[in-house]
Structure 1
Amino acid sequence: MTPDETRLIRRCAEASRAAARRLAASDAATRTAALDAIALALEAREASVLAANAKDLEAAGAAGLSTAMQDRLRLDPARFAALVAAVRAVNALPDPLGGIEWQAPRADGLEIGRMRAPLGAIAMIYESRPNVTVDAAVLCLKSGNACVLRGGREAAHSNAALIEAVQAGLQAVGLPVDAAVLVPVFERAAIAELLKHDDCLALVIPRGGEGLIRHVAEVSRVPVIRHYKGVCHLYVEASADLDAALHLAIDGKCARPSACNALETLLVDASVAGAFLPRVGEALRARGVTLRACPRAVPLLPSAEAATPDDWDAEYLELVIAVKVVNGFEEALVHIAAHGSQHTEAIATQDDALAARFQREVDASAVMVNASTRFNDGGELGLGAEIGISTTKLHAYGPMGLESLTTLKWMVRGAGHTRAPVH
């Protein structure tokens, strides 16, 4: 990195800190108007955004980016419409700031409460996923935070076109354009440089491959929300409705295999393996899925490959799935505890007691009963959109929406109260 680039990154961090102070003082009506203006600015720029994305996709193909990365990079009219809809969905949510969540007077009349407040300036470090540029900006703005966005080189044209729309919306209502600033330096060293500035930044949220997230966690002086990978399981328990379980497996693996909530490992109870595995194997193979199976599953899955130990920890992000036969509920829990990533786990069962145990005992940010792993998503869970999925537990667990971008501060009001007598 050049000295000019180092200074530019520092200016981005300082500008974001200053903008965060302005946003914290803004009222809900102004922030709502800003998001309305951003949605309109995006719609007006749809053609230019999609043209910019086409440039990125062409370069990604020439550079040999993986199928999963190219899928995450792609914007088409349907995804663009969903992006704009997400802006409006976030804007329709209640304002998260200023409300007193708990208030009680003491016996001496001192009033004590807690109020929702923004975090400050938030850094987003991400790969591909140009939708993150908009999702992060609008979630931060709605919750009174500024954001510094550092996308990858592979999405440079897309992100530049999208941030132009976001900043146009901010300008239209008189909020500082630095409330959403894009860092235009793509060397890996730029990440470490940005994350030195803990005097400006309150939080960093990395989104991308496991390597990127581990790098951010290693170099950052700023608190990090971590989500290394999504090794998501579906356990087909002995009492499961096998027709329903078949649909859960197909949706989880095939709907969007590049997503972090895609199904990566299928666990099948030994008592139903003979009835279920041939059916699910045929259905998945018909959709282009490669199966990597344990020794007990291979005879029931013609053309399946033998699984290796690495397959049980793999986040494939493509049309590949690991399959294992387990001897009952307890073995399924042990396998998930050993190989899960605290992202999303699901069970297909008609036994309510086991369903309750599964949800209580499995350690994951979302635990599904007779529902696809694909539902672990901010929009699907009612957050409007998400800024990321946390698989750590401080200070958020699972999809992070508006409330996760705020904190609680103590509010104390007295009438000249002192803690000790004044002499």
Structure 2
Amino acid sequence: MPDLPRPPSDRRPPAPVPGLAARALATAAIDGVLSRGEALEEAFEGARLEPRDLGLARMIAGVSMRRYGSIGHLLEGLMAKGMPRKSGPLEAILITAAAQILFLDVPDHAAVDLAVRLARADDRAQAFSGLANAVLRKLAAEKAERLAAVPADADTPSWLMGRWRRAYGEDRAHAITAAQRTEPALDLSVKADAAGWAARLGGRVLPTGSVRLAGHGAIPALEGFGEGAWWVQDAAAALPARLLGPVAGLAVADLCAAPGGKTAQLAAAGAAVTAVDRSEVRLTRLADNLKRLGLQAEIVAADLLAWPGGTFDAVLLDAPCSATGTIRRHPDVAWAKAAHDIAALADLQRRMLAKAAGMVKPGGLLVYCTCSLEPEEGEEQVAAFLARNPAFQRVPVTAAEIGGLAEAVTPAGDLRTLPSLLPDPDPAMAGLDGFFAARLRRVG
């Protein structure tokens, strides 16, 4: 007798577990940072999640890295034998779950349950799902007293904290680390009418002229994005280009230009900008942003040290650096760098600064800047350059040029912003990225 066709099955695949996809993405992001040294943001590029889940994943991953030192300290105290070897993403699963339990408004049982599900779903971590359950439940039950015992500077690597104590003193070092624990607000540079755009977007105008938003959804959905009225740029990152003064009609080189915030500033001010960067991918984004903004610049994909270049009325060099001033926005930086990286970067900066200096016309300006808190990449770099190059003189920065932030002007006349500047009752609305900038003029 021939087989009869089977009736169609009414069985349906199980419904997705709410919130699991967001936790999985956050865990993958943290695992990428810890296991492969990837940048935290890379995990979210091209992620196919609903906006709400994507936002939650970013929040969990961001808090996990901002409080990584505290979380690690607590997990170490709860795991007598340490993290099991060959356990795959178990560490990342525990870190992201602990971040939710300790620092986010997430029900403890949800954080524990979803972490256990993630462990069971991985071939390497599933054998330790019971351990994950026990550790996280104990953490949830004792979080208040355990968190109170965590050292105040646990969220900054000890080698980095030691450097900041020496450079800035004990009080300012602690203020820097405190500022870096809070996710910062969104800063915008606007082409015109900062006060008007602040009112439309529910933000406020900072003393420096940037617009800071108290809260926001997806950036492309904000009013003014599509029409190119503004671009995202930390308030501190917007200051170095302003040190060039009026640039309308001048030929200006923006070296190491991507992602392009400074290029946009200069082009919007009327300069003929040549934007140079070695990364073609990042330059594609720069070009897309300029198109959206209705601005123009000559874009050059080249290694600065090998580029024949030319001469310009003004040159802005935003040199590659340790980026320790951006930890509040990129918390993985604190744990991705090591002390030896700074010496290597300082040597690269020295060579780039010499190259940039050769492009400045007599009487022209050179602004050198880095988003680093390390003196070797800032004050010491410029002092050594001036000692070698008598053809250049420092043009001191004034408080009036940077919104009255007198505390951001060094005794030598350079710009030095710290994450702890611009205090506010709401920590999310306070602070700046850490930046250094010096303005130099070629004599003659």
Q: TM-score, normalised by structure 1?
A: 0.29
Determine which structure has the larger strand proportion and give its number: 1
Greater RCO (CA < 8 Å, at least 6 residues apart): 1
